[in-house]
A and B are shown apart, each in its own frame.
Chain A
Amino acid sequence: DVKVTQSSRYLVKRTGEKVFLECVQDMDHENMFWYRQDPGLGLRLIYFSYDVKMKEKGDIPEGYSVSREKKERFSLILESASTNQTSMYLCASSFYRSDNQPQHFGDGTRLSIL
């Protein structure tokens, strides 16, 4: 089974802090994704990566950056955390260029910024 592991289930940080969310997948997937999920707004794509050191902006990249130094690991960085970044963050991965392969999700990190 595909395993996407997010480093923390719950995280509490303070405004202005630099926050790192880590995600690791074990299926040699080329694509990796970061989403945030908010009540009433659904899932929104922050950033994705289709290869090591490659990244593309999603729909809501402002205030975030990402890093992909190894194929299996994709990090989301909140450069200076703000209260409006309190949310559920979900990481996903999938094979490259395949219309019959679903995205596989981690269990999420519930991040609170105080």
Chain B
Amino acid sequence: KQEVTQIPAALSVPEGENLVLNCSFTDSAIYNLQWFRQDPGKGLTSLLLIQSSQREQTSGRLNASLDKSSGRSTLYIAASQPGDSATYLCAVGLDDYKLSFGAGTTVTVRA
């Protein structure tokens, strides 16, 4: 069974600092890996998706890397802003349909 772990559970940084969020998974046979953002009381917003054959994806200030052999993905957010405060969830694609989610990292960016 695929286990997805996100450490730390919470992170607080001053504005302008770069954020590094970690995701680890136990089975390297993945379909893809997705990063989501969730604001309090809201649904999930897709940030980045890395296909199994890819090593990284970038969108604006966000960059996500994938190392299947070591079972790790990292989400980098450059020059953090207070608006980046949210919970970030990592999800491993198991097949055409199913995702296995981590518990998330709650980020607070202090102005």
* Interface residue from A43, A50, A96, A104 paired with B46 (Cβ < 8 Å): A104
Per a CB cutoff under 8 Å, which of B41, B42, B49, B96 touches A102? B49
Please encode chain A, from 90 to 114, with 1 for each CB lying within 8 Å of some chain B CB and 0 for all others: 1010001111111111111010000
A89 to B42, CA, bound (A): 10
Q: How many residues of B contact A (CB 8 A)?
A: 24
Question: Is the CB of A34 closer than 8 A to any CB of chain B?
Answer: no
Residue of A nearest to B103 (CB): A42
Minimum distance in angstroms from A101 CB to a CB of chain B: 8
Known: A90-B44, A100-B32. A50 touches B104 (CB 8 A): no
Residue of A with least CB distance to B102: A42
- Chain A interface residue count, Cβ-Cβ cutoff 8 angstroms: 27
CB distance from B30 to the nearest CB of A (A): 10
Interface residues of B in 46-98 (CB under 8 A from A): 46, 49, 51-52, 89, 91, 93, 96-98
Assuming the A-B contacts A42-B101, A45-B98, are A99 and B42 also in contact, with contact meaning beta carbons closer than 8 angstroms in the complex? no
CB-defined contacts of B44 to chain A, threshold 8 Å:
90, 92, 103, 105
Establish whether residues A100 and B34, one from each chain, have CB atoms under 8 Å apart when the complex forms.
no
CB distance from B61 to the nearest CB of A (A): 19
Whether B43 contacts A102 by the Cβ 8 Å rule is no
Apart from A42-B103, A48-B98, A98-B96, what 12 extra A-B contacts exist at CB < 8 Å?
Answer: A31-B96, A40-B103, A43-B89, A43-B91, A56-B97, A58-B98, A99-B51, A99-B93, A100-B49, A102-B46, A103-B99, A104-B46
A-B residue pairs, 4 tightest by C-beta:
A102-B46, A105-B43, A105-B44, A43-B101
User: Interface of B with A (CB < 8 Å)?
Assistant: 31-32, 34, 36, 41-46, 49, 51-52, 89, 91, 93, 96-99, 101-104
